[in-house]
Every structure is written in structure tokens, then in C-alpha cells.
Amino acid sequence: MSPGSGYIDAAYFLPAIGAPGGFLVLQGWYSAHGPPHRAVTARLRLDGREIRFPCEDPRPDVAAADPRLSPRAGFDVALRLAAAPAEARVTVEFLAAGSPCETIETAIADPVWEVEARAGFLPPLRLRKLRNLILNERERLSHATAVTALPVTGQIDPSFGCNLRCPMCQSHMIREQGYRLPNLKLDQLRAILDRYGDTLVRIWLSLWGEPLLNKQLAEAVRLCKAHDIWVLISTNMSVRLDDAAIAALVASGLDTIVLSLDGATQATYQEYRREGDLALALENIRRIVAAKRRTGSATPHLFWRYLEFPWNRHEIEAARALAAEVGVDEFGVEPGVLMDQQTYSLAPRGQARAEPVAPALLDAWRSRAAVRAGQHRYFGCDYLYSAISINSNGLVHPCCYVVAPGDAVGKADAPVARLRNAPPLRAARAAFAAVAEGKDGPVRAHAPCASCPVIESCEGHVVTQTSFRQLFDHLVYGTGIRW
């Protein structure tokens, strides 16, 4: 038996922006057999140098497929090369506790060549999305300050309002201050899609509120699908829906519904989903499943997202069984985030200037960047390149972690180039680039990026926002997009 198991999911090279060479990206996993959690290191030789990186990223799918394997066996590295690889293949050796386990060889893909070789066969809209996607990823990896690529993913809020009062929800905190916004109108969405629809690959048609409170949600989904966009929503599902609303949602082409349910009994569920009705949510799910079966529709894919807190941990397996009973397609558990009560500024953004990043936070950023540099991993913020977050009144925010109007960077109807390179966004890109490149001295950025703890503390801020390879494969091969 092999001392371990592994696979290289992707290996590709992308040219840098404004500099020679580029980036060899390797993604995959490797886990040693035997004692659990044995550290595994990958080793390869490129440009006359030996490069090592750990295999320790979360890969729950690996452990789920084989209990002998570690749930932290993944790797996702971007290796800066002075020139394109001389060889068409790369060989990676995996070592556990310093001893060789296995060597895996794989071809190095060239996404630019792949797209242009298919240019005559791809639908024009997909070709445009692919070219933009590649440019977007090259600008991100290169830490470009000014960008020309358009966003490839978006979060657009159909409804800022919500029927629940989840105590640690940022938007609930700002609604408690009396902040209200109207629902997104279809004409607003059409204008957004006129600007960004031909380059967006995926849209979360939900952001800070409950999307089902917008009675035009199904039509909004159809507008997005007309631009060949993969569409998801996240909902508490605790909303009374008539048969017509259920049928319209299933017929709209909606790809995925993320179901936010954090308990298997009403008592546990309402600890966080306050004023929610678990029985109503489950009945709505059953009706959607029934409508899918009646129409023979495979979509929307139903994903039960269970946020784990100390008070609901004991009901995870009961919830998993309940998900299977009502017909949910997939069940997953994520750690819940406990946030302190905060007060957000309701004032619109003025002519704010970039301010120095606080020394303690800057030290934390530099520490994280140094660790990532040692692991050959990207340090920065995907949202500043790949995404656009738009509230239901058209305010554009730096990312989906930001909700207050005082932190907006502009409005969705602004000229695209000006909005994409608004001073707060350019300053944030420059700040993270300086930290990633190990530059000394003060770093300046606008709020809220100048005070963002997520960059330092949460790996998911980068890795869960988007995956270039996943979006690329969807556009070229038609594979589904994981939310």
C-alpha cells in the first residue's frame, strides 16, 4: 500500500502584469496514511531552486471520501517565476516527517492558449467572460494597483430588510439604528447588468437582507441568467410563500439556494435565528423539492448551511438526518462567527483621505504576509479585484464584509473604470501590495480597509471568495460552480 494518497487538481501558468515572467499555480492535496495529522510537505525544483510548501489547507472532501486521510491536506500555491516554465510538465514530491511518500507528475496548463485555441468555437459571451477572467486573475496575482479587468463575481442585494433578528449579524446591527433601504428594482438590476453582466460569471443575489422579501426575486434571477451568470441566493427560508412563488423560483433557472438553518429543533434554532420559524422553513424546502420533482428540474441545488455554535453543536447529526428527510441535496457545517455589538456610521462617505494603518494591525498584516510568503501563498484581498458588492439602493462597497453607507466607494451607476479604480480601492490594493512585497515604512489606506482585521485573521477571506480554476472550467467545460 502506498504511504499516502494525493492528487494535483490544477497546474497552470499565467503571465504577470507589468513585469517579465509570471505565476505557476498548483492546487491539490496530499495526505499520509497511518498516524493522523502527520505533516506533509511538497517539494519541487524550478528555475534551479528547490521550493517547498506545506499541505495543510482544509480539504474536508478528502477526509469524507477516505477516513484514513487528513481533513487538512490541501495546498494552493502561486510560485513567482522569472520566465514561463521551460518544461511542459511539473513533478512534485511529497514528504511526511521528512521521508518521501510519493512523486506526482502533471502537465502545466496554459489558460491563455486554451481560450484562444477555442476562440472560434466558444459562444462570444463566454469568450468575453473568459478573457476578462484571465486578465482579472493576472492583475490579482500581480498585485496591480490600477485594474482594467471587470469583476468576475458579485454580491447584489435584492432586499436589505430581513424578517429575522440574528444577534451577531452586521446588517441587523445597522438596521437597529433605523437604517432602511428599499428593495432592489428590476430597472436597477438591468442597469447593473448592462455594465457588468457580460463579464460576471457568478452572482450571489443576496447580501445583507432576506432575498425572498423581494417579490421580484424570480424575475431578477431570470435577468441574470440571460447574461449567462451562475446565480445563488442565501436565505433563512422562514418566509410564507404561495405556490406561485415556489413555482417561479424553481422555473427561474436559479442554480443554488444556500439554506441558513442552525438547529434541528425550534428551541435550538431560534437561539440565533431569532423570530424564525423552523417548521415553516422546512415546509418551504419540502415544497421546493416537490416542485423540482414535478418539473424534472435539477435546480436549484439545495445546500443546508449549518453554522456551528456552542449551543447547537449537539444537534448537528439530527439536522443532517432532517436535511436528508426533507430532500436537501447537500448538508455542510461551518464555524459560526461570534461578533461583538457594533455601531456603524450612517453618514455617507465624504472626501476621506488615506490614513496610516494602525501599527498593531500593520504588524499583524506583515506577520501574516511573511508566513504566506514562506508558504508561497498569495497575500492580499480577492474582493478588491474579483468582486463587486452592491446594496439594494445602488451603493457599492469594498466587499461583502462592509455594510455601512459611510464605507461605500461609490454608486453602481458611476462610470465603470472610475468605480473600479476609486481612490479607496486603489489605496487598499497598494497597501496590501506593499505588505506582500515586504516594504518597510508606513502604509496608508482608506477606511474600512485600513482597519480590516479579516485579512490578518481569516484565511477564508481569500480562499472562499472565488476560484479562478473553478470559474474557468465552468466557462470552458460547463462544470458546476461550488458556492
Same domain, 87 and 21: yes
Instruction: Establish if 88 belongs to a structural domain.
Output: yes
For residue 12, the domain's CATH number is 2.60.40
Q: Which structural domain range is residue 219 located in?
A: 152-341
Q: Are 53 and 75 in contact (CB under 8 A)?
A: yes
pLDDT score at 460: 47
Same domain, 105 and 189: no
CA pair distance 135, 152, nearest whole angstrom? 10
Instruction: Establish if 56 belongs to a structural domain.
Output: yes
Same domain, 243 and 160: yes
Same domain, 89 and 174: no
Same domain, 200 and 275: yes
Instruction: Establish if 395 belongs to a structural domain.
Output: no
pLDDT score at 463: 47
Q: Are 391 and 157 in contact (CB under 8 A)?
A: yes
Same domain, 82 and 170: no
Residue 110: CB atoms within 10 Å: 17
Same domain, 223 and 97: no
Instruction: Establish if 15 belongs to a structural domain.
Output: yes
109 secondary structure, DSSP code: B
Q: Cα Rg for the chain, rounded, in angstroms?
A: 23
Per-residue pLDDT of the chain (483 residues; tens, 9 = 90+): 468 899 999 999 999 999 999 999 999 999 998 776 678 999 999 878 899 999 998 888 898 888 889 999 999 999 999 999 988 999 999 999 888 999 999 999 999 999 999 999 999 999 999 999 999 999 999 999 999 999 999 999 999 999 999 988 888 999 999 999 999 999 999 999 999 999 999 999 999 999 999 999 999 999 999 999 999 999 999 999 999 999 999 999 999 999 999 999 999 999 999 999 999 999 999 999 999 999 999 999 999 999 999 999 999 999 999 999 999 999 999 888 777 777 887 877 777 789 999 999 999 999 999 999 999 999 999 999 999 999 999 999 999 888 888 889 999 999 999 999 999 999 999 999 999 999 999 999 998 899 887 787 666 455 446 789 999 999 999 999 977
Q: Which of 341, 364, 399 is where one domain is finished?
A: 341
Instruction: Establish if 215 belongs to a structural domain.
Output: yes
Query: What's the grid cell of residue 315?
Result: 444537534
Cα dihedral sign, 50-382-402-169: negative
pLDDT score at 242: 96
Same domain, 67 and 209: no
Name the residue among 470, 434, 440, 441 with its Cα closest to residue 455: 434
Number of domains the chain is built from: 2
pLDDT score at 64: 84
Q: Which of 292, 321, 341 is where one domain is finished?
A: 341
Instruction: Establish if 453 belongs to a structural domain.
Output: no
Same domain, 104 and 159: no
Q: Are 390 and 154 in contact (CB under 8 A)?
A: yes
Helix (H) or strand (E) holding 408: none
Same domain, 317 and 178: yes
Q: Which of 291, 307, 341 is where one domain is finished?
A: 341
Same domain, 194 and 270: yes
Instruction: Establish if 310 belongs to a structural domain.
Output: yes
The residues, any chain, with a CB within 8 Å of residue 83's CB and separated by 6 or more, are 20, 21, 47
List, in sequence order, every residue forming a beta bridge with 10; answer none if it has no partner: 27
CA pair distance 433, 455, nearest whole angstrom? 13
pTM of the model: 0.94
Same domain, 157 and 98: no
Instruction: Establish if 126 belongs to a structural domain.
Output: no
CA pair distance 274, 319, nearest whole angstrom? 18
For residue 324, the domain's CATH number is 3.20.20.70
